[in-house]
Amino acid sequence: MVFRRDGSVRQRQQVVELEVGPVVKLDGLDWRENLFPSRNFNVNLEGLKTTKMKRGVNHSSSVEEIPMARLDTIGISSDSPESQYLCGANNNNLSRRNSLISQHSCLSGIESVSHHRVPEMYSDFEVGLYVPNKSPSRSNPHKTDNNGNDGSLSKQIDSARRDAVMTLSEKREKKAEIVRRNSERSKEQTIGIFAMTKYSISMSLQKFKETVITVAYSMDLWYGSLKLIEGSFGSGVASYFRFLRWLLLLNLSSLIISVSFLVVPQTLRQFYYNFDEVPDVTKNGGTYLEKSFFDIPDANGTVPPPLTAASLLHRTNPYGVHAEFSITDLFTGEGFLTATTMYYGSYGNQTFQLFEGYRYDLPNAYFFSMFVCYVVILITVSVSMARSYRKTYIETRGTHKGSLALKVFSGWDYSVATVKAASLNQRRIYNEIKEALNEEDFQKRDTSCLLRFTNITVQFTLNFMFFFLMAGIALSMWYLLGRHSAYLSDSTSNSHTMTMAIVTSLVMNILPIGFSWIVRYEDYRNPRTALYVTLLRTFILNIVVIGTTATFWLTHSDECWETALGQEVYRLFITDFIISVLLMGLVETFWSIIRRKFSKISSQPEFNIAWNTLNLIYNQTLFLVGFYFSPLLSVVIVIKLFLTFYIKKAGALYNCQAPKKSWRAAQTQTIFLILTFIALLGVFLVFGYLIVYVSPSKCGPFSGFKYMYEAILSGIFQLHNDNVFFITVLFLAKPGVIGGVLIAMCIATYILRAKAEAYTIEVEILNNMLIQEKKDKAFLFKHIKNTEKASQKMKGSPTLSSSSSFHTPLSARRQLKITTRESQSSFLSTPNRRTHGLQRKFNSTSQIASRSSWRYGRGNIRPDLLTDQPSTSSSSGTSGTKSDTSEMKP
């Protein structure tokens, strides 16, 4: 990276030197200075990555081919002077050229600026890009002339352009040729040992990646189902199911880790060791009991007999209650389940021997497995969030969102495959286009002061009521939890166990409907805003529910509050499944049956993507909170998601129809990922607090320690107070140091943000320049036409029809320009028009003049040549030109 940066900086100087002629000042700055500082290396690298053909066309020649492909997609024409000097300057340094060029393309507007700057250049560019394709490249594949690095670069670029858009057959030919060429070359020259290892490493990495991808694809879960859903509902609804699948796979990783490192060892231990013997907490004071199953006999000199299944069913749970298994336990999560490996409380704090000679430290294992699970989840969520955010917000920045062009060009959902969905899709596009046509009047609707005031008042009141409601829900949940906790300590009745969970789940299902209902009265101007407000409210509701549960149990240090929290989460989980998946599914089905029977119009409901996805996020947050206290919750969530997929799929296919409005799947998906990430961060904060400030109860792997972090530090790192590392950690944890780090981070963020804002402004300026140029060009074309007319009059014999200038083929347009120039020169009263030297001289001067005027872009348009010329010669165009020039001047 550093190398590139250096290289590119040097290049920039070269560029400026090379382009001595017209260096344009934009608001007092060299415009090149404006262009190049805005390079974004990440974007560049990304760009390179995407252009590189997946499983590259050629591993062997990757050094050479990728830059060319990159060139192609940037669209720099070999004919444009831009690429001539870019490439010419770096003939021998491909990677540097590459970096420069990708910089060149990094800003959205810039490409266009560079290509549209000068009309001549523009047309050249078009010729360069399209002429090879006009003679259809498919029918006569160009035999590439690969002369190596020293060959003419423009030819290479030409061939590279064809690379990206070649047909498969051509690609295969090209591949064969490259392989042949490379084998020849390798005979001639030997590669250094360093390069050799480098290539072999990168090749084996590539191969490994391929294998991984192949394996991943071959295990593509629910491929057919997703295809079916996509076909009948489009990609919007499918995005929900894809999100579900993503969560399932994510949780599967936690399941594998937690089961293999926690549940299995603990179960083995229970089988081999007498479970009822509660370790003496007072004796162990900070160290672990060394016990093993095989080699350490007990006091009588006999190895304890392994437990039988029958004795397992009749053992004592931490509350001292003998529990027998009953069906209701599956719903309450209590009773028999309390003492199983389901919950935190049943994991011991011993180190034991699973196999001869191998100690297994359960508290360490517990902490580390959980840590790895959470970190895996964090990394996955943040990476996908960042990627999705970049795709939908950064790469697509600068578009007007309601653009009609987008509706036309990316309106059709290519994945749709059923007749019904297709006709709905067509109707949707029709409606959207109609709406967009009418929108202009709509946007300019009168917003009187009174109306706005009432609007704001309504919004304010409703938001206030919303927060009031949230507080009420939190309080009532607290009350219910307190009652349940009181019952629990009495251990007399379990009848109220489910109350909290059922009430909460009902609230969770009913309130969002209310939210989407009240948002209509708030009259948000943009429907997107309304959707986001509803989403945010539902999300806050989720957070309130989960936060209250977690806070209650964290502050009520019960006998074994970790298990109790785990059970609470389990109950919420189960009731949510029953109510929002099963019950709602049944209600929907019932409703649609009634509709089908009694109403003539077959209008089925649409699949509510937003609500369903938020439900998934709620589930995931719940899982993240509960997982630490209940390792087997990962199994529950995986089963739950699995069943949810099938139930929802059946419900959707049976009850719903394709959405009538377009669902911006990409953007909304990013929002969902961001919400998941926020929830995850919240969970991390809670756990940080838990580890440092909350003392663990007398059950579970961390019993006997005052705080969890002590167990982690002393047990895992084998550290004590006098250890250097420990002292360093303590020093780093001091408020002053953390504060310093935070301040530094704030400053860094501020700088980056300021930079980003500057770039935004820059892009805006460039965009304005573009628009200005567009106007300029139209203006110039008009003049050229006028001149043309005048020249015809002068000559008396028309050579080209002036009206055709816009829609004539390019060659004709170029011809036209040349003629125009000639005619212009005639106006400049060049005595002999046929004098070629003079002619060329004139052309070049006028080109330079025009180029500089284009770059100024603010109305200084060749006053000597164009503005005055027609006004003296042609009578028809005079009035128009006058008014135009006055418009152009700022």
Partner 1 sequence: MGNKLVTFTEEQLNDYQDCTFFTRKEILRVHKKFRELQPDLVPRTMTKDDAVHVRVARDIMERLPELRENPFKSRICEVFSSDGKGNLSFEDFLDMLSILNEHAPRDIKVYYAFKIYDFDNDQFLGPSDLQQTLRLLTQSQLLPEEMTQVCEKVVDECDVDADGRLSYMEFEHVITRAPDFLSTFHIRI
Nearer to partner 1, 40 or 267 (CB): 40
* Shortest distance in whole angstroms from residue 706 CB to partner 1: 52
Rounded CA-CA distance 87/73 in Å is 16
Nearer to partner 1, 420 or 840 (CB): 420
Binding of residue 437 to partner 1 (CB under 8 A): yes
* Candidate list 33, 111, 177, 558; residue touching partner 1; CB under 8 A: 111
* Candidate list 506, 666, 674, 849; residue touching partner 1; CB under 8 A: 666
Instruction: Give residues 208-267 in contact with partner 1 (rule: CB under 8 A).
Output: 210, 213-214, 217-218, 223, 226-227, 230-231, 235, 239
Instruction: Give residues 644-663 in contact with partner 1 (rule: CB under 8 A).
Output: 662
Rounded CA-CA distance 742/205 in Å is 38
Radius of gyration for the alpha carbons in the chain, expressed in angstroms and rounded = 36
Which residue spans within 613-746 are E strands per DSSP? Answer: none
* Shortest distance in whole angstroms from residue 395 CB to partner 1: 7
> Is the distance from CB of 888 to CB of 776 less than 8 angstroms?
yes
* Shortest distance in whole angstroms from residue 445 CB to partner 1: 20
Binding of residue 760 to partner 1 (CB under 8 A): no
Nearer to partner 1, 324 or 441 (CB): 441
Stretch that binds partner 1, among 483-491, 535-543, 592-600, 771-779 (CB under 8 A): 771-779
Strand partners for 322: 316
Nearer to partner 1, 69 or 584 (CB): 69
> Is the distance from CB of 619 to CB of 505 less than 8 angstroms?
no
Nearer to partner 1, 45 or 404 (CB): 404
Helix axes 561-576, 449-490, angle to 10 degrees: 120
Query: What are the start-end ranges of the H helices in 294-403?
Result: 309-313, 327-332, 362-389
* Shortest distance in whole angstroms from residue 409 CB to partner 1: 6
Window 716-755: contact mask with partner 1 (x via CB under 8 A): ----------------------------------------
* Candidate list 108, 267, 604, 839; residue touching partner 1; CB under 8 A: 108
* Shortest distance in whole angstroms from residue 652 CB to partner 1: 17
Binding of residue 763 to partner 1 (CB under 8 A): no
> Is the distance from CB of 769 to CB of 113 less than 8 angstroms?
yes
Rounded CA-CA distance 510/502 in Å is 12
Nearer to partner 1, 478 or 532 (CB): 532
DSSP letter, residue 54: T
How many other CB atoms sit within 10 Å of the CB of residue 879?
10
Is the Cα dihedral 319, 320, 321, 326 positive or negative?
A: positive
Instruction: Give residues 382-421 in contact with partner 1 (rule: CB under 8 A).
Output: 391-392, 395-400, 403-406, 408-419, 421
Note the Cα 548 to chain centre separation in Å.
31
Instruction: Give residues 807-836 in contact with partner 1 (rule: CB under 8 A).
Output: 807, 809
Q: Which residues contact 428 (CB under 8 A, 6 or more apart)?
A: 659, 660, 661, 662
- Spell out the long-range contacts of 641-647 with Cβ–Cβ below 8 A and sequence spacing 24 or more: 641/244, 641/247, 641/248, 641/251, 641/616, 642/248, 643/577, 643/581, 644/244, 644/577, 644/581, 645/222, 645/225, 645/241, 645/244, 645/245, 645/248, 647/581, 647/582, 647/585
* Shortest distance in whole angstroms from residue 515 CB to partner 1: 25
Q: What are phi and psi of 358, to 5 degrees?
A: -110, 120
Instruction: Give residues 141-180 in contact with partner 1 (rule: CB under 8 A).
Output: 164-165, 167-169, 171-172, 175
788: nearest Cα among 829, 830, 821, 836 = 821
Instruction: Give residues 113-132 in contact with partner 1 (rule: CB under 8 A).
Output: 115-116, 122, 125-126, 129-130
How many other CB atoms sit within 10 Å of the CB of residue 749?
10
Is the Cα dihedral 317, 321, 327, 331 positive or negative?
A: negative
Nearer to partner 1, 418 or 589 (CB): 418
* Shortest distance in whole angstroms from residue 133 CB to partner 1: 7
* Candidate list 24, 26, 35, 57; residue touching partner 1; CB under 8 A: 57
Window 495-534: contact mask with partner 1 (x via CB under 8 A): ----------------------------------------
Number of residues that bind partner 1 (CB under 8 A): 93
User: Which residue reads 């059922």 in tokens?
Assistant: 502
**CA angle 239-242-244, nearest 5°?**
115
* Cα–Cα distance list, 886 to 227, 711, 760, 773, 861 (Å): 59, 80, 30, 16, 12
Instruction: Give residues 27-56 in contact with partner 1 (rule: CB under 8 A).
Output: 50-51, 53-56
Nearer to partner 1, 122 or 677 (CB): 122
Rounded CA-CA distance 459/521 in Å is 8
Binding of residue 140 to partner 1 (CB under 8 A): no
Binding of residue 430 to partner 1 (CB under 8 A): yes
Stretch that binds partner 1, among 480-488, 561-569, 600-608, 767-775 (CB under 8 A): 767-775
Rounded CA-CA distance 12/28 in Å is 19
Is the Cα dihedral 547, 553, 556, 557 positive or negative?
A: negative
Residue environment code for 183-219, b if the CB has 16+ CB neighbours within 10 A, otherwise e: eeeeeeeeeeeeeeeeeeeeeeeeeeeeeeeeeeeee
* Shortest distance in whole angstroms from residue 549 CB to partner 1: 36
* Shortest distance in whole angstroms from residue 207 CB to partner 1: 12
* Shortest distance in whole angstroms from residue 52 CB to partner 1: 8
Rounded CA-CA distance 748/740 in Å is 12
Nearer to partner 1, 586 or 778 (CB): 778
Stretch that binds partner 1, among 331-339, 432-440, 484-492, 861-869 (CB under 8 A): 432-440
DSSP letter, residue 298: -
* Shortest distance in whole angstroms from residue 160 CB to partner 1: 13
Nearer to partner 1, 132 or 279 (CB): 132
* Candidate list 434, 452, 753, 793; residue touching partner 1; CB under 8 A: 434
Nearer to partner 1, 205 or 751 (CB): 205
Binding of residue 79 to partner 1 (CB under 8 A): no
* Shortest distance in whole angstroms from residue 773 CB to partner 1: 8
Nearer to partner 1, 84 or 396 (CB): 396
Strand partners for 352: 360
Instruction: Give residues 299-318 in contact with partner 1 (rule: CB under 8 A).
Output: none
* Shortest distance in whole angstroms from residue 213 CB to partner 1: 6
529: nearest Cα among 435, 667, 406 = 667
Nearer to partner 1, 53 or 474 (CB): 53
Q: What are phi and psi of 105, to 5 degrees?
A: -95, 0
Binding of residue 664 to partner 1 (CB under 8 A): yes
* Candidate list 774, 840, 882, 889; residue touching partner 1; CB under 8 A: 774
* Candidate list 331, 781, 827, 842; residue touching partner 1; CB under 8 A: 781
What one-character-per-residue DSSP string does 15-37 give? HHHH--S-PPEETTEEHHHHHGG
Nearer to partner 1, 239 or 266 (CB): 239
User: Which residue reads 């062997």 in tokens?
Assistant: 60
Nearer to partner 1, 51 or 364 (CB): 51
DSSP letter, residue 828: T
